[in-house]
Amino acid sequence: MKKLIIMGIFAVLSGLFPCQANADTNVVRSDKGFTTTLDIDNFKWTRQPESCVIKGDTIEVVTKPCTDLWQRTYYHFRNDNAPVFQMETEEKFFSFIVKTDFTESHHRFDQCGIVLYLDSDNWLKGSVEYENEEYQHLGSVVTNNGYSDWATTAIPAQVKTMWYRLSRREDDYCIECSQDGVRFTQMRVCHMHHGGGKIRFGIYACSPEQSSFKAIFTDMKLTECAWKAHDGQQPD
């Protein structure tokens, strides 16, 4: 695999954002044997969470109330204040994997997951959104040119961890999920109209209503693109 070009500056807003890390935290491993060092300077927050602590390969994020991502469709509101923690690349073919733990989610729409956020009008995300004590929504949102759409399915509220895999093939993307980190199931295939060049991708957590919870992210890694090229009907 081509070496991923990872760029970015970690934004520390002194006094506003206590993101703490110890000295041995900053590694993401690929399954090809190389290790890409990702010290904190290789990530950048777009908007700050309530707090963040990085320990080893674990990132703990506490959400702020009334934070969300959505643009226009159906609800006719524009929410664009969810914190996203991303790295930058121009690599055209890769997969990014992360495990999420949302054991503490307890209020409607509490969520955490995988994200590719380019700007307010162009982004995608995959996550589990808490609904009630019986069920929650496993879903994805794709936003192109300022309009969001949401694809979702109900899963039991007892599910409290989920793996995600985001794969890129140029300006096309695939979001998958897994409960064991081994067997992944497709959630979404989509096109990003502005996703063909340099992109940013990573993790996010938010609480759209008056709540807050701790989201835990572990086992992040970059691999060869696991989403293989189509081998059926040829292009027109």
pLDDT tens figures, 137-182: 999 999 999 999 999 999 999 999 999 999 999 999 999 999 999 9
Distant-in-sequence, close-in-space partners of 175: CB < 8 Å, separation ≥ 6 = 114, 124, 126, 140, 164, 165, 166, 186, 187, 188, 190
Q: What is the pLDDT of residue 39?
A: 55
Q: What is the pLDDT of residue 236?
A: 85
Q: Find where tokens 């955490």 sit.
A: 112
The answer to whether 208 and 66 are in contact (CB under 8 A) is: yes
Tokens of 101: 């733990």
Q: What is the pLDDT of residue 86?
A: 96
pLDDT tens figures, 41-89: 678 999 999 999 999 889 999 999 999 999 999 999 999 999 999 999 9
With pLDDT > 70 as the criterion, what percentage of the chain qualifies?
A: 83
Q: What is the pLDDT of residue 15?
A: 34
- pLDDT band with cut points at 50, 70 and 90 for residue 10: very low
Q: What is the pLDDT of residue 37?
A: 40
Q: What is the pLDDT of residue 90?
A: 93
Q: What is the DSSP string of 97-117?
A: EEEEE-TT--STT-EEEEEEE
Q: Which residue has the higher pLDDT, 204 or 38?
A: 204
Name beta bridge partners: 93: 169
Architecture of domain 19-223: Sandwich (2.60)
Using DSSP, state whether 42 is helix, strand or coil.
Answer: helix
Q: What is the pTM of this model?
A: 0.86
Using DSSP, state whether 40 is helix, strand or coil.
Answer: helix
Q: What is the pLDDT of residue 57?
A: 85
- Is the per-residue pLDDT at 9 higher than 70? no
Q: Computed from CA positions of residues 113, 50, 147, 171, in that sequence, does the dihedral angle turn out positive or negative?
A: negative
Q: In the chain, where are the structural domains located?
A: 19-223
Tokens of 133: 């004590």
pLDDT tens figures, 124-142: 999 999 999 999 999 999 9
